[in-house]
Amino acid sequence: MGIGARGTSPEHIMDIERIHTPVMLERTIELLAPAIDGDGAVLVDATLGMGGHTAAFLERFPKLTVIGLDRDTEALAIARQRLAPFGDRARFVHTVYDGIADAVRSEGFPEVQGVLFDLGVSSLQLDRAERGFAYSKDAPLDMRMDSTSGRTAADVIAESSEDELRRMFYEYGEEKLAPRYARAIVRARAEQPITRSAQLVDIISAATPAAVQRAGHPAKRVFQALRIEVNEELSVLARAMPAALDTLAVGGRIVVLAYQSLEDRIVKRVLQAASSSTAPAGLPMELPEHRPQFKLLVRGAELASETEQAENPRAKPVRLRAAERVRRPS
């Protein structure tokens, strides 16, 4: 379902503001504030979604401009209406977030003071059953964050070999029963196409030992793996992180919220490399050009408080990392 009359009504915008609580909002503001609280400051919200984080930043920092990126045209339409009161301080770019450098240039800025990534599937995508992201609701197996292009989850299931499905479930879902599930899917699709989420859930459930079923929903990791494959989430993130760091001015800051270990591993690796010396081993002293370009702002990955986790279940798996640019290469 696209955005119909209710989707763009003032009442619906109020619904969104009530039900969609941005994760770790106050901590995110605290970390980015020193970089963006000034004349001409620009923040890139690389995962705009329905604009919850951006609305809060524009309210708190009256001189701030935010460039919001999203591949989801439905989310962009909602965010445009929600953020309309902020005028041209809110900019919108339809792009995947590895296009961050082009997006910043297209808006006329040589660099920015802040970047925010709130990774994973958005509340809008999860809550709209027809998008096919949720294993708990029957819907067409779509899972595309940008519903205007690319392969659907049904396409992936129909076109992938058993080996490819097994690798996908292992790598992207960290699913121990990947061989069993891949085999069951190939057997089932030979009888009829697998086009709906309920079909896939039934196939996975039937292939799952009873003892494993008691440990949680058996389809969770398979659905995660398919979503990552459909949207190329890990390869996009691996390109987006260095590109985002390159856009930051000296003193600029980046905050990343990751919700699963595969994403967090990529973020950790990129930030650790950026905040480490590049001096070859054995040099008696570190030359200026070898000094780190970034410094880490938090120790390891921060979790949401127990209070926030209790109030907002989507905050439970979050891992927050942050860094500040301290120099540019000479």
The span from the CA of 92 to the CA of 80, in Å, is 7
Mark whether 263 and 154 lie in a shared domain: no
Mark whether 49 and 87 lie in a shared domain: yes
Burial 47-62 (b: 16+ CB within 10 A, else e): bbbbbbbbbebbeebe
CB 217 within 8 A of CB 253: no
- Asked which of 180, 213, 231 is the last residue of a domain, the reply is 231
What DSSP letter does each residue of 41-83 carry, written as one string?
A: -EEEETT-TTSHHHHHHHHH-TT-EEEEEES-HHHHHHHHHHT
As a 3-state breakdown, the chain gives helix, strand, coil percent values, each rounded to 5, of 50, 15, 35
Residue 210's pLDDT is 84
The span from the CA of 51 to the CA of 319, in Å, is 20
Mark whether 24 and 83 lie in a shared domain: yes
Mark whether 244 and 99 lie in a shared domain: yes
- Asked which of 231, 264, 283 is the last residue of a domain, the reply is 231
Q: What is the CATH number of the domain that holds 298?
A: 3.40.50.150
Mark whether 15 and 109 lie in a shared domain: yes
| CA separation, residue 23 to residues 5, 20, 81, 146 (Å) | 28, 9, 21, 22
The span from the CA of 93 to the CA of 134, in Å, is 27
Which residues are annotated binding-site positions for S-adenosyl-L-methionine? Answer: 51-53, 70, 97, 118, 125
Q: What is the CATH number of the domain that holds 164?
A: 1.10.150.170
| Both tokens assigned to 149 | 């292009």
Residue 13's pLDDT is 45
- Asked which of 231, 264, 295 is the last residue of a domain, the reply is 231
Alpha-helical regions (H) of 146-196? 153-159, 162-173, 178-189
Residue 129's pLDDT is 53
Which residues are annotated binding-site positions? Answer: 51-53, 70, 97, 118, 125
The span from the CA of 145 to the CA of 121, in Å, is 8
Mark whether 118 and 13 lie in a shared domain: yes
Residue 7's pLDDT is 43
Mark whether 73 and 167 lie in a shared domain: no
The parent domain of residue 185 ranges over 149-231
Mark whether 112 and 261 lie in a shared domain: yes
Mark whether 101 and 226 lie in a shared domain: no
Q: What is the pLDDT of residues 149-180, one digit of tens each?
A: 889 999 999 999 999 999 999 999 999 999 99
Residue 277's pLDDT is 76
Q: Compute mean pLDDT per 10 residues along the chain, 330 residues long, and list them.
A: 37 49 92 96 95 95 97 90 96 95 97 94 56 75 86 96 97 94 98 95 93 79 93 94 98 96 96 85 69 93 93 91 92
